[in-house]
Structure 1
Amino acid sequence: MESQKDESDGAGDAIATNDASSCRSSSPRHPVPRLYPNIAEVTEDKETTEVKDKEPSETKDKESSETKYYRVGAYFEWVPMNLDEDSRTEESHEPPEGAVLCGTSKKGYSSYVARAYFYNDRLPASYVPRKKVAYAGWNGEAHALADGVEVLVLRDASHEWVPCRKGGYPTDALPTGYSHLGEVTYTGREMYEGSLRLGKVHPSYKKMFITHRGVEVGLSDYEVQVVTPREKSLE
């Protein structure tokens, strides 16, 4: 796996906020396999949910949102990017047709909705073709990843961004990633210092985290991505 400091977002510079480190749990837990249910009870409040912790045994018979979305793979897919050093030709780093353009990096480069595998996590990420890497936050730090990067491509689906705050997310939000503790995470976006930035909505931390100047920055208000099959969205 290839990782480097988040140079595009100004690693090493001073920052205004850095909420991620104080949110991390220090309780010992064991890693679990890669397909995870979201082990939480959700209570609906209009379009979004408020998450309450619940024991894993109480949700064994519930279908995970991850499984639900893989069943509609004909409508969208996650396309792996070949970003190895030997494959970084002029065309290899270009996003596929149907990739979701959203926002920019700190330096103003166009970014696309993506995800990336890093250690035992699958992280919501922001793919920046100009830099040929995806930027993602992990353990309070920003990482530039060129290995295990996948870009979201819509085939026969529409998408929207639903306003949420403090860990909330729509019940039909796209489950982009997961933590090594088994919690599902989502793709979000929000304006930060004049730029529209993609980030990771982490419900248990009640924030969306973006990468900025080498670290994760936590935001309480944001929008969450929802992907809907086109035929359903027309009903």
Structure 2
Amino acid sequence: MVRSLPLFHRIAGQPVIVLGEGDAAAAKARLVERAGGTVVAEIQRGIDEGARLAFIAHDDEARCEADALRLRGAGLLVNVVDKPDWCDFTTPSLLERDPVLIAVGTSGASAGLAKHLRLRLEALLPPSLGKLAQGLAEARGALRKTFPESAERRRALDAALGEGGALDPLDAGSADRLGTWLEAGGKAAAPAVHEIVVTRDDADDLTLRQARLLGMADAVLADPQVSETVLLRARADAVRLALPYEGDMPAGLVVIVRRG
């Protein structure tokens, strides 16, 4: 079960209430300022200025609870430091490769675990990842011209961004190859049909290949006995069809999932 809905909240130029004293409050204030927000240390002023988020870091637990109730009653989302059960949202550990932002959260279970997962990921992702992301953003027009159909465009990017592809995001040199790849017309993966067989309801038992195919599929044809837990590994916008299926095969990458 997903315990939280991960969102990226834009607060640049917006007021954010931060209450409390000491290191915890200072850390939250820095987090707000780092994202371009304006720190407001007074409840009523923050409400009047239209704040939508609030951090509470008082040493007094009763004061934390009272302020949380007041702010929540005014319609704000509230984070109470070290009190995950009192929080409407939690703050993840952040990995930045601007404009790429990766957030690692544990639904408040362990900030230390989130931090060390982020540190491991730091070592995997090259500094050039942000340059690649920015290049792809600037190349939207060229990509649409080269691949007018969205499905074809998605397959081309999947082929290029996949492991060992021309634009493999874990390859430090991929950002410098983007222009060359576009000039050569890119390379879209040909439409294909793959069949995978799962033997259990646990998505963690999927092989790397199975998980990759599900994550890239344009359409998934699934045996009714295959669990929803497994099918959730497919893209949210993938066409979902039930087996047996007698219609025309969907275009693009099709993955047939059977229960073994």
TM-score bracket for this pair, using the shorter chain length: under 0.3
Name which one, 1 or 2, has greater alpha-carbon Rg.
2
* TM-score, normalised by the number of residues in structure 1: 0.26
* TM-score, normalised by the number of residues in structure 2: 0.25
Greater strand share, 1 or 2?
Answer: 1
Greater helix share, 1 or 2?
Answer: 2
